[in-house]
Amino acid sequence: MKIIVHDLQQQEFAGWVDDPNAELTVLSDNDTIRQCMGCFGCWTKTPGVCVIKDGYQNIGELLSKCDELIIISKCMYGSYSPFILNVLNRSISYMLPYFVTKNGETHHRNRYDHQFALSVHFYGHDITEAEMGTARTLVAANSMNLYSIGNKVYFHNSLQNVKEAVL
């Protein structure tokens, strides 16, 4: 399955893909997502599932069935935009709480024997060099923690360019 997580308005994204089906899941912002409250319940209460039941509790499980994760985000200060961050914050049940040491640094053990390819399309009309550098480092760190098969980072100065690159 392919997953697209994007922060575009419904009308901006309309017509980009056919209706969602078994092969494609689209996560977008309809103003109902709640913030992670740092309780670790997705590890120690209901392992694998977030305790906040707002429709976004199953992101960890979704990722375990994903072969290709595509993130489309406005680049803000070298970070993802709030909705994308919110989705990522709510997805840590994809990992286990337990630790491994990789290259001398601590990371989490994986819950699933599964890997997906990760690509991130940042858009914005005035992204600075410094912000691009930060964003690349951020995606590489995420890729490491999510055990993704590599990571690709793109910067676009218009939504039209994002659309052409993603489709």
- Which residues bind to another protein, rule: CB under 8 A? 35-40, 43-45, 47-49, 58, 60-61, 64, 76-83, 85-86, 88-89, 91-92, 96-99, 105-107, 111-112, 128, 130-131, 133-134, 137-138, 141-142, 145
CA distance 4 to 57: 17
Contact 111, 95 (CB under 8 A): yes
Between residues 38 and 104, which has the closer beta carbon with respect to ligand FMN?
A: 38
Q: Which residue has the tokens 């290259």?
A: 103
Contact 110, 147 (CB under 8 A): yes
Q: Indicate which of ligand FMN, another protein, none lies near residue 82 (CB less than 5 to 8 Å, by partner kind).
A: another protein
Q: Indicate which of ligand FMN, another protein, none lies near residue 78 (CB less than 5 to 8 Å, by partner kind).
A: another protein
Beta-carbon neighbour count of residue 6 at 10 Å? 25
* Interaction mask 77-116, ligand FMN, x per CB under 6 A: ------------x--x------------------------
Residue 155 exposed, middle or buried by CB count within 10 Å (0-12, 13-18, 19+): middle
Q: Indicate which of ligand FMN, another protein, none lies near residue 56 (CB less than 5 to 8 Å, by partner kind).
A: none
Q: Which residue has the tokens 């039941």?
A: 53
Binding site for ligand FMN (CB under 6 A): 36, 38, 89, 92
